């Protein structure tokens, strides 16, 4: 055995027997002068020891020189993140050996993972780029804090993450789960600005349509999640009113505008929960009751089902809205136009001709027999200009709408 190399901390020795040369290291500070085996080599390969939980060897196939990405002193990969990954992440993966090859393609072969030099070089380039970007971002964040706290210090604010490859690599489905609504809106605004780079109108239309579809999907998913929670909790009517007031124009494309009816001089003191204008300018009145409201009751004397007291009251209530709206159609329309007029926009022209009232109430779980279902169907169809929508029916509509958008996408 002869010494062939010396570093600041190590002595390197070689021992040759026939065509095989074994290489060892010795720590200079080791009083016992113990030598640790690093690798063996011949004309065809270098076989390195590796201290992985399952992977025990790194084989360098047909080497011209010892590759720079593997430590020649027996410490595995020169890049620490590679070392840690291959040491600790291959339990029960049927992989025992890494083969690094300049000529063979990357693939799994038996219990070996063959990794081509070019794939490894590309990976290391991305890791280094990520690390450089991270270090640059840290510097920028520190500088921006100084700018924010000490404006008199002569630094300029700098935007972070301007590395294109880094940004594109991080645009994946896992990122979506971590984004807030405001952050998604920020990305959407950037997307719209990015489309201006292209002068071809068909490209802009395609990109904008894609953004719209994705925005619809994200919005509907959020609405459905909140709706399901409300349906489970059976909250007060005011809670449902807040939900519909915020979201109905997002999930029902018929409607383009909500009217703040209470600010309009109509001469009445009782107001619908929601007043909505559809795409044709027609007005609908919404009345919201609790999802647990009883729908129908049984009449023992006539052996039939009739509206519950709560439903009868709300039918009477919305009928009154409709009657007053028809009697005062012209003045109502003028009041709405005057109220919605702004400095830059004309007021809203609406049509109060045979307006509809939509009652959102109850749940189909009350209709647990065929007779109840049929009676409820007959009762709801007997009403003129009044439509019943059960809360779970509306949830089903939302889910179907989401599925349709996903399919079209």
Domain of residue 266 covers 234-408
Same domain, 193 and 305: no
Same domain, 345 and 394: yes
Distance CA 248, CA 254 (A): 10
Same domain, 203 and 94: no
Same domain, 314 and 241: yes
Same domain, 204 and 238: no
Residues sharing a CB contact under 8 Å with residue 179, sequence separation 6 or more, in sequence order: 187
Distance CA 118, CA 343 (A): 65
Same domain, 64 and 112: yes
Question: Is residue 20 domain-resident?
Answer: yes
Domain boundary among 155, 186, 220: 220
Question: Is residue 190 domain-resident?
Answer: yes
Domain boundary among 118, 134, 163: 118
pTM: 0.52
Same domain, 215 and 239: no
Question: Is residue 143 domain-resident?
Answer: no
Question: Is residue 239 domain-resident?
Answer: yes
Distance CA 1, CA 294 (A): 94
Question: What confidence score (pLDDT) does residue 264 get?
Answer: 60
Instruction: Please compute, for residue 57, the number of CA atoms within 13 A of its CA located in the half-sphere on the CB side.
Output: 16
Per the listing, tokens 């009251």 go with 313
Same domain, 252 and 191: no
DSSP H or E run through 186: helix 181-195
Residues linked to residue 275 through DSSP beta bridges, in sequence order: 259, 285
Question: What confidence score (pLDDT) does residue 60 get?
Answer: 93
- Provide the b/e sequence for 167-195 (b: ≥16 CB within 10 Å): eeeeeeeeeeeeeeeeebeeeeeeeeeee
Question: What confidence score (pLDDT) does residue 119 get?
Answer: 93
Same domain, 176 and 295: no
Question: Is residue 268 domain-resident?
Answer: yes
Question: Is residue 161 domain-resident?
Answer: no
Same domain, 355 and 378: yes
Question: Is residue 133 domain-resident?
Answer: no
Sheet with 282-288: list strands edge to edge: 255-259, 274-278, 282-288, 351-360, 386-389
Same domain, 265 and 214: no
pLDDT along the chain (409 residues), means of 10: 91 93 92 92 91 92 86 90 91 89 92 93 87 82 84 74 65 75 74 67 62 72 90 90 87 83 58 87 92 92 90 93 87 84 84 90 93 93 92 91 76
Same domain, 88 and 9: yes
Pick from 38, 45, 49: nearest CA to 97: 49
**Count: domains in the chain:** 3
Distance CA 260, CA 340 (A): 9
Instruction: Please compute, for residue 55, the number of CA atoms within 13 A of its CA located in the half-sphere on the CB side.
Output: 27
Question: Is residue 146 domain-resident?
Answer: no
Question: What confidence score (pLDDT) does residue 63 get?
Answer: 82
DSSP state of 112: E
Distance CA 86, CA 126 (A): 17
Alpha helices, DSSP H, located in 77-116: 80-88
Domain boundary among 73, 88, 118: 118
E-assigned strand segments in 178-292: 255-259, 274-278, 282-288
């Amino acid at each position: 055995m002869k010494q062939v190399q010396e570093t600041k901390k190590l002595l390197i020795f070689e021992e040759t027997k026939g065509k095989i040369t074994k290489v060892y290291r010795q720590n200079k500070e080791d009083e016992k002068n113990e030598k640790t085996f690093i690798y063996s080599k011949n004309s065809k390969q270098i076989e390195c020891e590796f201290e992985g939980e399952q992977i025990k060897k790194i084989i360098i196939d047909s080497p011209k020189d010892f590759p720079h990405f593997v430590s020649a002193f027996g410490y595995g990969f020169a890049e620490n993140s590679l070392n840690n990954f291959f040491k600790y992440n291959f339990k029960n993966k049927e992989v025992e050996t890494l083969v690094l090859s300049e000529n063979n393609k990357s693939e799994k072969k038996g219990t070996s993972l063959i990794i081509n030099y070019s794939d490894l070089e590309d990976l290391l380039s991305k890791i280094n780029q990520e690390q450089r970007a991270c270090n640059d971002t840290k510097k920028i964040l520190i500088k921006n804090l100084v700018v924010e706290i000490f404006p008199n210090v002569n630094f300029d604010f700098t935007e972070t993450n301007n590395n294109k490859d880094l940004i594109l690599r991080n645009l994946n489905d896992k990122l979506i789960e971590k984004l807030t609504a405001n952050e998604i809106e920020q990305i959407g605004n950037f997307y719209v600005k990015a489309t201006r780079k292209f002068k071809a109108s068909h490209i802009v239309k395609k990109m904008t349509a894609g953004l719209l579809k994705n925005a619809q999907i994200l919005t509907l998913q959020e609405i459905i999640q909140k709706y399901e929670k409300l349906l489970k909790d059976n909250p007060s009517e005011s809670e449902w009113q807040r939900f519909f007031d915020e979201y109905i124009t997002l999930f029902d494309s018929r409607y383009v505008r909500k009217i703040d009816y209470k600010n309009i001089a109509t001469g009445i003191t009782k107001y619908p929960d929601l007043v909505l204008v559809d795409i044709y300018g027609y007005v609908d009145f919404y009345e919201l009751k609790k999802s647990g409201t009883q729908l129908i009751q049984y009449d023992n004397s006539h052996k039939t089902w009739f509206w519950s007291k709560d439903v009868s009251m709300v039918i009477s209530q919305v009928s009154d809205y409709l009657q007053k709206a028809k009697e005062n159609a012209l003045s109502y329309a003028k009041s709405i136009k005057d109220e919605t007029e702004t400095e830059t926009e004309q007021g809203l022209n609406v049509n109060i001709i045979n307006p509809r009232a939509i009652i959102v109430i109850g749940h189909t779980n009350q209709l647990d027999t065929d007779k109840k279902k049929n009676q409820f169907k007959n009762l709801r169809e007997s009403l003129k200009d009044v439509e019943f929508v059960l809360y779970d029916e509306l949830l089903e509509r939302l889910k179907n709408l989401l599925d349709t958008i996903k399919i079209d996408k």
